């Protein structure tokens, strides 16, 4: 009977050892998988950061080129203004003066229309003649008589 108890203890120790080993192995796998996911996440963030830096540098270079072009245009405009103010013999910049003077010449050349005041009533084109424009007051017109009287 001693050997049955020993065999039962050996069997129960093997089963308990199996479950403990399984639990420890799964714990190590979870730690390894969490470390791997963390490592993969860090690599992904590093790639995204590198891509963001590349795009930011490209945008910054484009803005710098636009600033340089604007600076050159402003310098050219400033030099143009300085040369125009330095030369008193030559006319100054006209800006919109040429267009405005042509507009003003054309505006003054048109004749103004005189309003005419006439005492003549406009013609009444109604079929039967309503008597509206015949010059008589409305009290003088009878309701049944729509013909015009001189």
Domain of residue 65 covers: 2-87
Q: Is residue 109 part of a domain?
A: no
pLDDT at 63 over 90: yes
Domain annotation covers residue 132: no
Q: What is the pLDDT of residue 135?
A: 66
Q: What total number of domains does the chain contain?
A: 1
105 in any annotated domain: no
Indicate whether 125 belongs to any domain: no
Q: Is residue 68 part of a domain?
A: yes
Angle CA 28–29–32, to nearest 5: 85
The yes-or-no verdict on residue 112 having pLDDT over 80 is no
Q: pLDDT digit string (tens) for 35-56? A: 888 899 999 999 999 999 999 9
Q: 74-101 burial, b for 16+ CB within 10 Å, e for fewer?
A: eeeeeeeeeeeeeeeeeeeeeeeeeeee
111: Cβ contacts below 8 Å, ≥ 6 apart: none
């Amino acid at each position: 009977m001693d050997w049955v108890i020993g065999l039962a203890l050996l069997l129960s120790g093997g089963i308990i050892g199996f479950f403990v080993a399984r639990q420890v192995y799964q714990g190590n796998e979870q730690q390894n998988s969490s470390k791997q996911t963390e490592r993969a996440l860090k690599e992904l963030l590093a790639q995204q950061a590198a891509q963001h830096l590349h795009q930011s540098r490209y945008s910054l270079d484009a803005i710098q080129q636009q600033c340089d072009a604007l600076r050159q245009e402003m310098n050219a405009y400033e030099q143009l203004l300085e040369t125009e103010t330095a030369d008193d013999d030559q006319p100054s910049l006209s800006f919109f003066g040429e267009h405005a003077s042509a507009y003003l010449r054309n505006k003054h050349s048109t004749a103004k229309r005189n309003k005419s005041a006439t005492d003549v009533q406009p013609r009444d084109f109604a079929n039967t003649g309503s008597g509206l424009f015949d010059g008589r007051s409305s009290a003088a017109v009878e309701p049944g008589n729509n013909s015009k009287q001189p």
